[in-house]
Structure 1
Amino acid sequence: MVLKNLIRIRRSAARAEAEHPALAAAGLLPGLEALPNAILVLARERLAIAFANPAAEAMLGMSLRQLCQLGWTDLFPNADAPAGAIAALREEASGTTQLDAVLELPQREPLRVHAIIGSLDAAPGYVLLELVENEQKLRTDREERILDLSAVNKQLIRNLAHEIKNPLGGIRGAAQLLELELGANGGLREYTQVIIKESDRLQTLVDRLLEPHRHPHIARDLNIHEVCERVRAVMLAEFPRGLTIHRDFDVSVPDLRGDMEQLIQAVLNIARNAAQALRQPIAEGTACIEFRTRVARRVTIAKRPCKLALDLRIIDNGPGIPEEIRDRIFFPLVSGREDGSGLGLTLAQNFVQQHEGMIECESRPGHTEFRILLPLQC
Structure 2
Amino acid sequence: MIINDSLHRLLLDNLTTATLLLNADLRLEYMNPAAEMLLAVSGQRSHGQFISELFTETREALGALRQAVAEAHPFNKREAVLTTQTGQSLTVDYAVTPVLSRGATMLLLEMHPRDRLLRITKEEAQISKQETTKLLVRGLAHEIKNPLGGIRGAAQLLARELPEESLKDYTNVIIEESDRLRNLVDRMLGSNKLPSLAVTNVHEVLERVASLVEAESQGSVVLVRDYDPSIPDLIIDREQMIQAVLNIMRNAMQALASKPELRPGRITLRTRTLRQFTIGYIRHRLVTKIEIIDNGPGIPPELQETIFYPMVSGRADGTGLGLAITQNIISQHQGLIECESHPGQTVFSIFLPLEQGATPT
Q: Which band: TM-score by shorter chain?
A: 0.7 to 0.9
**Greater percentage in helix:** 1
2:115 pairs with 1:146: no
Q: Which amino acid aligns with 1:330?
A: F
1:131 to 92, 107, 111: 111
The answer as to whether partners of 1:242 and 1:282 remain within 8 angstroms in 2 is no
- Are 1:211 and 2:190 counterparts? yes
What does residue 246 of structure 2 align with? 268
CA shift in 2, pair 1:294/1:90, >3 Å? closer
1:283 is displaced (CA, Å) by 5.3
- 2:293 pairs, out of 299, 302, 315, with 315
Q: 1:118 to 1:374 in 2, by over 3 A?
A: closer
Matched, 1:39 2:20: yes
Specify the code of the residue in structure 2 equivalent to 1:211: G
- Please list the CA deviations of residues 333-355 of structure 1 after superposition, one character each: whole Å capped at 9, or x if unmatched: 33333433222111111111112
Q: Deviations over 1:56-103 (max 9, x none)?
A: 5771759354425x599x9324x87x5798799899975643411323
Root-mean-square deviation over aligned CA pairs: 4.3
Question: Matches of 2:129 and 2:255 in 1, distance apart?
Answer: 26
Please show how residues 1-378 of structure 1 align to structure 2 within 5 Å. Answer: 10=2, 36-39=17-20, 41=22, 49-51=26-28, 53-55=30-32, 59=39, 63=46, 65-67=48-50, 75-77=56-58, 96-104=75-83, 108-113=87-92, 115-118=93-96, 120=98, 122=100, 129-171=109-151, 199=178, 201-213=180-192, 215-279=193-257, 284-377=262-355, 378=357
Shift of 1:237: 1.9
Structure 1: 5+ residue stretches without partners: 1-8, 15-28
Go from structure 1 to structure 2 and tell me whether the alpha carbon gap of 1:248 and 1:147 turns closer, same or farther (over 3 Å shift).
Answer: same
Whether the 8 Å contact between 1:39 and 1:129 is mirrored in structure 2 is yes
Structure 1's 280 and 51: CA in aligned 2 closer, same or farther, altered over 3 A?
same
TM-score in terms of structure 1 length: 0.71
For normalisation by structure 2, the TM-score amounts to 0.74
Q: 1:17 maps to what in 2?
A: none
Distance in 2 between residues matched to 1:345 and 1:267, nearest whole Å: 10
Deviations 1:127-169 (A, max 9, x none): 6543333222222222222223323322332222122111234
Shift of 1:265: 0.8
Whichever residue aligns with residue 294 of structure 1, its letter is: R
Q: Distance in 1 between matches of 2:153 and 2:273?
A: 53
C-alpha separation in 2, matches of 1:367 and 1:248: 16
Change (3 A) 1:129 1:194: farther
- Pair 163,295 (structure 1): closer, same or farther in 2 beyond 3 Å: same
Letter in 2 for 1:219: L
Paired AA for residue 156 in structure 1 = L
Give 1:208's aligned amino acid: R
Percent identity reads 41
* 1:207-264 C-alpha deviation (Å, 9 max, x unpaired): 2112322x34323332222211221122112211331112223333333332222111
| C-alpha distance after superposition, 1:109-140 (max 9, x if no partner) | 32222x23445375997765433332222222
Q: Report if the CA contact (8 A) 2:100-2:106 is conserved.
A: no
Q: Give the conservation status (yes or no) of the 8 Å contact 2:53–2:85.
A: no
- Structure 1 distance, partners of 2:64, 2:321, is 44
Structure 2 SS opposite 1:333: coil
